[in-house]
Amino acid sequence: MLGDGKSIEKTSNPIRFHAVTLATFFGASAAPTPLYRIYQENFAVSPVLITVIFAVYAFALLFALLIAGSISDHLGRKPVIFAALLLEIVAMALFVVASGPGWLIAARIVQGLATGIAGASIGAALVDVDRARGQLVNSIAPLSGMAIGAFGTSALIQFGPFPLHLVYAILLVAFIAQAVAIWATRETGTIRPGVWASLKPKIAIPPQVRRPLALVTPINIANWTLGGFYLSLVPSLVVTTTGNHAPLTGGSVVTALMISGAVAVYLRRAKSAGANLGFGTLATTLGVLTVVAGVHLASVPLLLVGTLLTGVGFGTNFLGAIGTIMPLAKPDERAELLSAFYIQSYLAFSLPAILAGFLAKSLGYQITTDIYATAIILVTIAGFLGLRAERARVERIAA
């Protein structure tokens, strides 16, 4: 038996445990991506329904963030993380027994709720333990987890048995183990009254942030639209345009986006918001153009190179958008501002993906890619030029 609290603390590293748990949640969120093409074949699911299955996860995650995002401030971190793990266990079980699109939609809704609750409570626990390291882990762990989830699922599909079930069975065991292990970690939060009031969504944009947020909105929308397109349709796009049916190929393309995004966040975390947005716009433009070339030339290497560049732009633009608005908010305004930012981001993550499903069904994947690439490049560049014009205006006024 453990003799005291110090012994318990020695047996667990809170940052390491929470980082692994957060990465596992987001890894599980990306696990269905390489399977979407197989679901299309096995369940006779159209590209439109595939994107709906993808989008309901984002809607549920957003709902959980808005409703239960601060609940761990009142009930403590451990019980809320434990509840999220239980929900995720239910989601994995639904995936294991899924026999049609209805099951997949139910599983994705439960998974979105679990991931939203976990993301908020684990993120807060990480900052409780170490503010600087916790914020860095909160930025990198989700992207790293999604990269591992997409690549690992692809490998299991290609080389393992039971392609529709094995990855979920493994994740089910992992989440059960984490649900047990959470009680061996120390509580980092406190219990305080007001839990029912905390369930009311609080969304507000402070007056001093409205113009900067409006200016950075085009880049942010283009950024999350790009992420939603990759996670919903890219594996099917790779098969359709290149003729390469290996699951690991499509999974590797999705993984490249997340890996390069995580590396970019880490390497450019100390840069200014303006510098990150300029760099991100350039990387996204070059990357998307290279991806389009890869699609038209049916070249997987070009797709991978373009995706690596695009991922750098994705991660850097995210840093730049957050860095533009959050420092302008007062401490008591940040949570409500972040809620507004989440709404914008996750709507851009999900709604355009459904439109992409309709376009892919009626026009094909190649033309859909051309349309999306053009829109993402134009909107990103327009947003960056708007920010530059605003900075020039401010400098003229100051002079």
Q: Chunked in runs of 10, what are the mean pLDDT values of the chain (399 residues)? A: 40 79 95 92 89 94 86 86 97 95 96 93 86 83 92 93 94 97 86 79 86 94 94 90 88 94 92 94 97 94 96 94 88 80 91 92 92 96 92 82
Q: Which fold has domain 10-187?
A: Growth Hormone; Chain: A; (1.20.1250)
Residues of 237-260 as b/e, b for ≥16 C-beta within 10 angstroms?
A: bbbbbbeeeebbbbbbbbbbbbbb
CA–chain centroid gap for 383, Å, is: 22
CA distance linking residue 97 with residue 112, whole number of Å = 18
Of 233, 242, 288, the closest CA to residue 34 belongs to 233
Classify domain 205-399 by CATH number: 1.20.1250.20
Cα(292)–Cα(373) distance, integer angstroms: 7
CB 357 within 8 Å of CB 51: yes
Instruction: Please choose, from the candidates 272, 256, 385, 288, the residue with its C-alpha nearest in 3D space to the C-alpha of residue 321.
Output: 272
Residue 132 has what pLDDT?
79
pLDDT at residue 12 in the model: 52
Residue 101 CB-half CA count within 13 A: 17
- Residue at token pair 């990855």: 167
CATH 1.20.1250.20 domain span(s) along the chain = 10-187, 205-399
Question: Which residue, chain included where needed, has tokens 């503010």?
Answer: 131
What is the per-residue pLDDT for 9?
42
d(CA 41, CA 2): 52
